[in-house]
Amino acid sequence: MERLEDQHAAWLARTFGRTDYLPLTREDAMALSQAGTIIDKYKGTHLFREGEPSEATFVIQEGEVELYRMTTSGRSVFGRVGTGAVVGDIAMFQEEPYLSSARAVTSVRALRLDRDPLVSLLLARPVIAMRWLVNGLGQLEATQRSLIRLMNRTVLEQVADLLQDEQDRFGEVKLSQATIAELLGASRQSVNEALGKLKEAGAIDTGYRRITVRSTDALIGAANS
């Protein structure tokens, strides 16, 4: 049986960043794993909070993390991330307070990497540095897609587009209607109406706390209508 650190290294090698881009050697993966500390967070607890000193970044190994900022009207959720995602690195590298809060939506296991050890590692191992860069650019692209989704589009189009992005390989979407509304900046009523129209069109099926995509083609048609 692999030692725990070997398991973490193997996970990083096959999950972190684009796995088809500059594959990590076992030595690279071990170095990255050993530079950090594995932490576990219960549902509802925070990896970090908006405004706190950015002392570390986190690579999500298991679970889902909600990213939000506080506004005058309350908590504003702008994203959810899962396995392989990195959170907190932009603020940490800039040595600025965290720009947002990261809250565990489920039980979460993550690799915590403090600033100084990580910077030394990235300078010493260019393959890890490049994989880190590619991973960050991928997350930035996802954020840009989210912004584009909100521009001059109906709630129906936005919901259809979001469900396309968020479905897993079984067609399941692990977002509540309330979370979808928060992510899109829409009312729960308008999201509920959009889901009803998509269900009538045969694009999705809905049930208690679940949404299942039945026809991706129908979703694409709704998103581009």
Q: Does 1 score more than 50 pLDDT? A: no
Q: State yes or no: pLDDT of 204 exceeds 60.
A: yes
Q: What is the pLDDT of residues 3-37, one digit of tens each?
A: 555 676 777 767 666 556 677 788 888 898 889 99
Give residue 150's pLDDT: 62
pLDDT score for 207: 79
Handedness of CA 135, 140, 142, 145 (dihedral sign): negative
With contact defined as beta carbons under 8 Å apart, do 213 and 203 qualify? Answer: yes
Q: Give 146's pLDDT tier (boundaries 50, 70, 90).
A: low
Q: Are strands 172-173 and 46-48 parallel, antiparallel or unpaired?
A: unpaired
- CA-CA distance, 73 to 64, in Å (whole number)? 24
Element (H, E) at 172: strand 172-173
Give all domains of the chain, ordered by start, each with its CATH number: 4-149 (2.60.120.10), 153-223 (1.10.10.10)
Q: What are 100's two structure tokens?
A: 């947002």
- Rounded to 5 degrees, what are φ and ψ at 144? -65, -40
- Distance between start and end Cα atoms, the chain: 53
Residue 15 CB coordination number (10 Å):
14
Banded pLDDT at 2 (limits 50, 70, 90): very low
Give the span between the Cα atoms of 147 and 136, in whole angstroms: 17
Mean pLDDT score, 57-66: 92
List, for residues 180-194, the tens digit of each pLDDT value.
Answer: 887 787 888 998 999
pTM beyond 0.75, yes or no: no
pLDDT score recorded for residue 219: 83
pLDDT over 70 (residue 157): yes
Q: Summarize pLDDT for 84-94 with one digit per residue, the tens.
A: 889 999 999 99
